[in-house]
Amino acid sequence: MEKKNIWDLNRPDVATFRRQPKTGIVLVLDNVRSLNNIGSMFRTADAFAVERVVLCGITAVPPSPEIHKTALGAEESVAWSYSDSTLDAVAALKAEGVTVCCLEQVKDSVALQDFDARPGHRYAIVVGHEVDGVDPQVVDACDVCIEIPQRGTKHSMNVAVSAGVAMWHFFSRLELDQ
């Protein structure tokens, strides 16, 4: 098999991407400390046409050489904003009618594959700090907690990997906004 080249992939330029329809997904980063993880999540957000990324608390913001190293320019294509408080960001999203989903291991969480993301609805995925996870107050403020089932020996996955798995789940179920 022959690998696709850049022209075969038919990717839009940054200006076109910013104008094109997006999925109804907002990614919220609650105190994510690793700039490489932040960049990786921007790159995945670009791939899945995420509406925007909300960077909260200690989460670094572009421009940053370390974010750019893994984002590869996606920090320029994906819309983003910053909030000192993740709780304030969650409240603002809820006021916009967004269903806020916390990606966290909690009692009574919904397995990701069982969460029914519906076309025409908007969802936020909140991911947290690499060691501490999502702040408990933020967890309580969310509409639902979703969890990625795991069968290995480790209790969690890297936050950027987890965010990517969750974004794929939502992307695969939501139609692009027209």
| 72-115: pLDDT as tens digits | 999 999 999 999 999 999 999 999 999 999 999 999 999 999 99
Q: Calculate the average pLDDT of the chain.
A: 96
User: CB neighbours of 81 closer than 8 A, spacing ≥ 6?
Assistant: 52, 53, 54, 55
Residue 119 pLDDT > 50, yes or no? yes
Q: What pLDDT sits at residue 6?
A: 82
pLDDT band, residue 45 (cuts 50/70/90) = very high
How far is it, in rounded angstroms, from Cα 134 to Cα 136?
6
The edge-to-edge listing of strands for the beta sheet with 52-56 is: 80-83, 52-56, 25-30, 123-128, 99-103, 144-147, 110-111
How far is it, in rounded angstroms, from Cα 125 to Cα 17?
21
Give a yes or no: residue 147 inside a domain: yes
pLDDT tens profile 135-146: 999 999 999 999
Tell me the pTM: 0.96
- Where residue 131 sits, what CATH number does that domain have? 3.40.1280.10
What's the rounded mean pLDDT across residues 58-66? 98
Give a yes or no: residue 65 inside a domain: yes
The tally of domains found in the chain comes to 1
What's the rounded mean pLDDT across residues 139-163? 97
- The residue among 109, 70, 99, 107 whose CA lies nearest residue 173 is 99
- The residue among 94, 177, 97 whose CA lies nearest residue 142 is 94
Q: Confirm if 44 and 75 have CB atoms less than 8 A apart.
A: no
Residue 178 pLDDT > 50, yes or no? no
> For a pLDDT cut of 70, what percent of the chain falls above it?
98
Give a yes or no: residue 26 inside a domain: yes
Give a yes or no: residue 7 inside a domain: no
Give a yes or no: residue 59 inside a domain: yes
Residue 177 pLDDT > 70, yes or no? no
Give the SS3 label for residue 28.
strand
Residue 38 pLDDT > 70, yes or no? yes
What's the rounded mean pLDDT across residues 155-177? 92
User: CB neighbours of 145 closer than 8 A, spacing ≥ 6?
Assistant: 101, 102, 103, 104, 106, 108, 109, 110, 139
Domain carrying residue 25: 14-173
Rg from Cα positions in the chain: 16
Give a yes or no: residue 1 inside a domain: no
What's the rounded mean pLDDT across residues 126-153? 98
User: CB neighbours of 17 closer than 8 A, spacing ≥ 6?
Assistant: 46, 49, 77
Give a yes or no: residue 2 inside a domain: no
Give a yes or no: residue 6 inside a domain: no
Amino acid symbol at 175: E
